[in-house]
Amino acid sequence: MGVLGVCLKICGWFPVVFITAVIIWSYYAYVVELCIFILVGKSIPLMLLYLVLYHVFLVMFLWVYWRTIWTPVAKVPDEFYLTSSELQQYEAEDRNEEKIEILKSLARDKRLPIWTRTYGGGMRYCHICKLIKPDRCHHCSMCNVCILKMDHHCPWVNNCVCYSNYKFFVLFLFYTILYCFYVAITVLPFFIQFWEGDLGDRAARKFQIVFLFFAAVMFCLSVVILMCMHTHLTLTNRSTLESFRAPVFRHGPDKEGFSRGSFSNNFKEIFGDQKRYWLLPIFTSKGDGVSYPVQARDQDSDRLLDGDVESDIGSGLENEDRGAGKKGMRESIKTSTTYSTMEASGVAEGGTGNHATVHMDQGEGAQVNLAIESDSRR
Ligand SMILES: [Zn+2]
Ligand SMILES: [Zn+2]
């Protein structure tokens, strides 16, 4: 890393330092100026109530903020990277079509669980990391690495928001709103007293209260907008990047492609099934960040063959790879045991069944589609 890289890395922490400074100042203004200097002369029980609730919201806010910042980003597993010999073969090839064929072949041989492709129909490949991108994975130019289910790179936490910390990020927005709302609502009576001239003589204290109220309202309103957006994304199982640029499936670009059929199921994909963990920054998201259940139409279920793996990649000839049976397929979809079947909602998924098929269509460009049909479907 050069000098410029080090400078950029240091600069990346400025927004976090700014937020931390605002928190420290708000702590002083609320606890010292409001609770200790103003409230103590008015009502001790009210002061204690203010202080207890304030610290509950503050601790939850700091906990989720810490987890969002320091949770390591979800990186791509080794099998998606090209080995040195594969890379040599890939880079030695000049023709684009042949490069695509090489990637297709690698994806097929390694049984990578990939459903999406580029807008041009090719394999999604990162030329910087030298890997075949898993579904929902994107290269972050700030982190300079491919990130699983990348949502966006957030300067306020100086970290990529992705598969491993998306729940923490949504909770961070939620607790920021709670913290700011609580501060604003409890400071409001004293803010009114300021305008009525009942807040004592000390100008510095009066302005601390006024600024505290304005800062709380301002942060609350701006984060509410962001929270509305991420609530919508959570309930539709979409990342920010996918909401701007739809992932491309067999049937074309589709923002709903990873939806689990209902708001409730989409919410549980990120927050998990157990309600007691929903409000805590403990990782409970489903899956492994690599393979995702997709809409049933992408599985082309009419072409499923019992226990067979079918391939129509490359020259148009059908090459059946019967050696790759359901056992290998199960292994290739690592999330299989964490997902249950959702036949009614039209979403099919891997894991509970005993039936596997791979499709690689030349017509659609380079792609690998994996599907497992559940017992109940057959
Ligand atoms: Zn990359
Ligand atoms: Zn990043």
Regarding predicted confidence, which is higher, 373 or 264?
A: 264
pLDDT tier, 327 (very low <50, low <70, confident <90, very high otherwise)? very low
Question: pTM, whole model, 2 decimals?
Answer: 0.78
Residue 314 CA to residue 191 CA, distance in Å, equals 71
Regarding predicted confidence, which is higher, 369 or 145?
A: 145
Shortest-distance ligand to the CA of residue 161: 2
User: Which residues are 312's β-sheet partners?
Assistant: 361
Regarding predicted confidence, which is higher, 220 or 306?
A: 220
Give SS3 for 160.
Answer: strand
* Domain residue spans of the chain: 3-72+161-238, 78-150+241-377
| Catalytic center residues | 154
Closest by CA to 235, choosing from 265, 210, 277, 190, is 265
pLDDT tier, 224 (very low <50, low <70, confident <90, very high otherwise)? very high
Q: Which two tokens stand for residue 168?
A: 């923490």
Please report the pLDDT score of residue 2 as a whole number.
Answer: 82
Shortest-distance ligand to the CA of residue 162: 2
- Rounded to 5 degrees, φ, ψ at 278 are -60, -40
Cα distances from 68 to residues 72, 209, 231, 296, in angstroms, run 9, 30, 17, 33
The answer to whether residue 347 scores a pLDDT higher than 50 is no
Please report the pLDDT score of residue 204 as a whole number.
Answer: 77
The answer to whether residue 336 scores a pLDDT higher than 80 is no
pLDDT tier, 219 (very low <50, low <70, confident <90, very high otherwise)? very high
Please report the pLDDT score of residue 42 as a whole number.
Answer: 86
Cα dihedral across residues 286, 238, 116, 363: positive or negative: positive
Regarding predicted confidence, which is higher, 53 or 94?
A: 53
Compute the distance from residue 122 Cα to the ligand 2 centre, in Å: 24
Please report the pLDDT score of residue 242 as a whole number.
Answer: 95
Please report the pLDDT score of residue 297 as a whole number.
Answer: 53
Please report the pLDDT score of residue 114 as a whole number.
Answer: 92
**What's the whole-number average pLDDT of the chain?**
80
Compute the distance from residue 153 Cα to the ligand 2 centre, in Å: 4
Regarding predicted confidence, which is higher, 354 or 250?
A: 250
Closest by CA to 270, choosing from 164, 152, 148, 150, is 164
Please report the pLDDT score of residue 124 as a whole number.
Answer: 95
pLDDT tier, 188 (very low <50, low <70, confident <90, very high otherwise)? very high
Compute the distance from residue 73 Cα to the ligand 2 centre, in Å: 8
Compute the distance from residue 36 Cα to the ligand 2 centre, in Å: 42
The 10s digit of each residue's pLDDT in 274-323 is 999 999 999 999 999 999 988 655 554 432 222 223 333 332 222 223 33
The answer to whether residue 333 scores a pLDDT higher than 50 is no
Please report the pLDDT score of residue 193 as a whole number.
Answer: 85
Mean pLDDT score, 28-47: 91
Mean pLDDT score, 3-26: 93
Please report the pLDDT score of residue 328 as a whole number.
Answer: 34
Give SS3 for 252.
Answer: strand
The answer to whether residue 186 scores a pLDDT higher than 90 is yes
Residue 61 CA to residue 176 CA, distance in Å, equals 6
Shortest-distance ligand to the CA of residue 75: 1
Mean pLDDT score, 364-376: 35
Compute the distance from residue 151 Cα to the ligand 2 centre, in Å: 9
The percentage of residues in the chain with a pLDDT greater than 70, rounded to a whole number, is: 77
Please report the pLDDT score of residue 229 as a whole number.
Answer: 97
Residue 376 CA to residue 378 CA, distance in Å, equals 6
Give SS3 for 367.
Answer: coil
Regarding predicted confidence, which is higher, 372 or 223?
A: 223
